[in-house]
Amino acid sequence: MTFGDDDGRESVDRIEQLPVSDWTDQDLLTKDEARGRLVDEIGRCRARLDELKANNADESELALLARRLNAMESIAGEYDEYLDGK
């Protein structure tokens, strides 16, 4: 658990703020946000799958991960269709 650097200043990356009011509510996963999260997770999942294959991992573990990867790719594909067609 950390609350910032020793000198009391939080060390953070600068971000680009959205041009909307403070009270803009973003409390729901949008398709855009969901697709972004899925793309990141698909990348991590593929890397993990490659790593397991290289290490001759158990077939059932590989199958489980491959199923999850397929499910994520399928859902991301649906969001692509919607967002790219907008």
Partner 1 sequence: MPLQPWMELISVDDHLIEHPRVWSDRLPTKYLGAGPKIIEWERPDTGQMCQVWEYEGRIYPYIGLNAVAGKKPEQYGIEPVRYDDMIPGCYDPKARVADMDIDGVQAMTCFPSFPRFAGAVFAEGEDKELAKLCSAAWNDFHLDEWAATAPDRFVPVAMLPFWDLEASVKEIHRVAAKGAKCVTFPDLPDRLGLPSVHSDHWDSVLSAMEETDMVLAQHFGSGGFPPPIAPDAPFAVFITLMGTMSMTSMTDWLFSNTLYRHPKLKIGLSEGGIGWIPYILERCDSVWRKHRFYNNINQDHPPSYLFKKHIHGCFIEDDFGVETRHMIGVDKITWECDYPHSDSFWPQSRERAAQALEKVPDDEVHRMVELNAREFYNFPRAA
Instruction: Give residues in contact with partner 1 (CB under 8 A).
Output: 1, 18, 20-31, 33-34, 37-38, 41, 68, 71-72, 75, 79, 82
Q: Which is nearer to partner 1, 3 or 7 (CB)?
A: 3
Write down the least CB distance from residue 48 to partner 1, Å: 10
CA distance 55 to 66: 16
Write down the least CB distance from residue 72 to partner 1, Å: 5
Write down the least CB distance from residue 12 to partner 1, Å: 14
Cα dihedral 20, 33, 26, 22 sign: negative
| Number of neighbours of residue 82 by Cβ within 10 angstroms | 12
Q: Which is nearer to partner 1, 10 or 22 (CB)?
A: 22
Contact 12, 60 (CB under 8 A): no
